[in-house]
């Protein structure tokens, strides 16, 4: 059983927040990092493991290496990912410091980009995109792709495989987040709809006949539509 307290610690971006975040990134390397990390559910430490040889642009494939007991594997690359990666690599080869590095995303010291650096970038771009402060950490990207895939109707087993989870319980937790997001969206949508009150109007004296009909009035509190009278059996309505 997953506790409510545990769910509260998991933050993820809405699709609108994600679009804003990617859109404000004007640095080719950083845009490639964030897009690849999001699409393939990479931890910050797994981004630093990527090498240029992990890319196959002809077959549109990328090899991802997982940590913490997760399963590594190959993923398909989407065309927009390939375009952004190619643009980044073309620019990177003009810099003598990085052109011979086997790393896909080297740091300024030509070492694997660190978790700390990625969190700094997330805070920088998150602030520019108006992302809530509590969501400005890099791991939120992995949580985001998990919830987005499930919200789009993808199969639980597919999401487990995509994220490299060896234990499906690590995937199931995201189904609770999707349910929470759905309920919150429904609440906001229904707040925009007309509100109703149920006022019982009983004509005549009370009686004990179980099937005696009563009149009920539904009053629209928005006053945009006329009041409506409906008749039904009180016993039938609760049976």
What is the homologous superfamily of the domain 4-190 according to CATH?
A: Intergrase catalytic core (1.10.443.10)
Please name which of 168, 150, 142 lies closest in space to residue 66, comparing C-alpha atoms: 142
Please name which of 4, 5, 9 lies closest in space to residue 140, comparing C-alpha atoms: 9
Q: What is the value of pTM for the model shown? A: 0.72
Cβ neighbours around 22 below 10 Å, total: 17
DSSP state at residue 131? -
- Phi and psi at 196, nearest 5°, equal -130, 150
Q: Which pLDDT tens digits describe the chain residue by residue (239 residues)?
A: 555 556 567 889 999 999 999 999 999 999 999 999 999 999 999 999 999 999 999 999 999 999 988 999 999 999 999 999 999 999 988 886 777 789 999 988 888 999 999 999 999 999 999 999 999 999 999 999 999 998 888 788 998 999 998 888 878 888 877 765 556 666 666 677 777 666 655 555 454 555 544 444 444 444 443 343 333 334 343 33
Query: 136 is written with which tokens?
Result: 């400005």
Rounded Cα distance between 42 and 48, Å, is 10
Q: Where are the domains of the chain?
A: 4-190, 196-237
Please name which of 100, 111, 129, 126 lies closest in space to residue 47, comparing C-alpha atoms: 111
Please, which residues bridge with residue 199 across strands?
217
């Amino acid at each position: 059983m997953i506790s409510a307290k545990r769910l509260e610690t998991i933050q993820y971006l809405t699709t609108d927040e994600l679009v804003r975040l990617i859109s404000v990134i004007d640095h080719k390397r950083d845009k490639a990092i964030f897009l690849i990390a999001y699409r393939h559910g990479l931890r910050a430490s797994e981004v630093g493991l990527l090498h240029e040889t992990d890319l196959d642009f002809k077959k549109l494939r990328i090899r991802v290496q997982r940590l913490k007991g997760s399963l590594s594997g190959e993923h398909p690359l989407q065309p927009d990912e390939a375009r952004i990666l190619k643009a980044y690599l073309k620019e990177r080869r003009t810099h003598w410091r990085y052109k011979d590095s086997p790393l896909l995303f080297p740091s300024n010291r030509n070492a694997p980009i660190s978790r700390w650096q990625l969190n700094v970038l997330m805070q920088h771009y998150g602030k520019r995109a108006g992302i809530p402060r509590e969501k400005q950490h890099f791991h939120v990207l992995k949580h985001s792709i998990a919830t987005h895939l499930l919200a789009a109707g993808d199969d639980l087993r597919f999401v487990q495989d995509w994220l490299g989870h060896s234990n499906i319980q690590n995937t199931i937790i995201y189904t609770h987040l999707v349910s929470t997001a759905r309920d919150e969206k429904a609440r906001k949508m229904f707040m925009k709809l007309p509100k109703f009150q149920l006022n019982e109007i009983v004509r005549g004296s009370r009686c004990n006949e179980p099937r005696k009909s009563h009149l009920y009035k539904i009053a629209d509190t928005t006053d945009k539509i006329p009041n409506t009278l409906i008749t039904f059996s009180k016993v039938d309505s609760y049976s």
